[in-house]
Amino acid sequence: MKDEALEIEKKIGVTFKDKDLLNLAFIHRSYLNEHRSVKEHNERLEFLGDAVLELVVTDHLFHKYKEPEGVLTNWRSALVKTETISKIADGLDFEKYLKLSRGERKGTKRARRPILANTFEAVIGAIYLDQGYEKSKGFIEKNLLVLLPEIIKTKAYIDAKSYFQEIVQEKEAITPQYKVISEMGPDHEKIFTIGVYIKDRLAGKGTGPSKQVAEQAAARDGLQKYTKK
């Protein structure tokens, strides 16, 4: 556990006074079922880290940008959503250090995304307790807030389906329709390919692990093609 803590410290750029706090951030609730000697999991740290994350991001947006509240809310949502922070946790190799039950370990990578996101928040909570607000703020700035310019540039904060529908309805007075083109893989790990159609014309196509995700991908593809006209 001590060696693992040292490895994690190198990855996150934070040296802990209390290594046990950092180790706790990686203990998932399921791990306790198979390790009775372990009495605590990371959910309380996650609860704390979530609040610190929200404050740091909100404070940054408020002081750096003059946009109205609705825009700032959308930017914040894009930054702190599970998909975003689980990717950061994955990039920091957090999965290697997760303490999970055998059942959770055998699950799909997609199923572990929320666990990775929660671990990222738990690490923030641990940094806050061990090092204080400024250190946790620095960690969030270094790993998360650096993504904001790209999110703004690519309009990743916009709900692609709503935006695409708005544009098509304005220009052509019709509503885009989404249809499943194909489904692949077993039920527990199915991949959907969905097309978005304007009348009978395929305007965009996207894939994803659920119909909702594939529809958003199709809408983004449609937006890119449609706005280039």
Catalytic residue numbers? 50, 121
DSSP-derived 3-state class of residue 200: coil
- CA 165 to CA 12: how far, in whole Å? 41
Q: What angle do CA 90, 96, 102 make, to 5 degrees?
A: 115
Point out which residues pair with 184 in neighbouring strands. Answer: 191
Supply 227's token pair.
């706005």
- Is the C-alpha dihedral spanning 36, 106, 121, 10 positive or negative? positive
Beta-carbon contacts of residue 46 (< 8 Å; ≥ 6 apart): 118, 119, 121, 122, 125
Supply 81's token pair.
């959503």
- CA 94 to CA 7: how far, in whole Å? 10
